[in-house]
Amino acid sequence: VNFNPEPYQKAYEAKKIVYLTSESDNVINELDHNAVYVIGGLVDHNCHKGLCHRLATEAGVEHGRLPLDEYLEMKSRKVLTIDH
Kindly report, residue by residue over 26-84, the tens digit of the pLDDT: 999 999 999 999 987 655 456 677 888 898 999 999 999 989 877 777 666 555 555 54
Number of domains observed in the structure of the chain: 1
Q: Which of 25, 32, 44, 83 is catalytic?
A: 44
Give yes or no for a contact between 45 and 81, defined as CB atoms under 8 angstroms apart. Answer: yes
- Residue 77 included in any domain: no
69 catalytic? Reply is no
CA distance 4 to 12: 10
Of 61, 62, 58, the C-alpha closest to 26 is: 62
Q: What is the DSSP letter of 65?
A: B
In this prediction, residue 84 carries a pLDDT of 47
CA distance 39 to 19: 7
Q: Which domain holds residue 27?
A: 8-71
Count of residues in the chain: 84
- Residue 26 included in any domain: yes
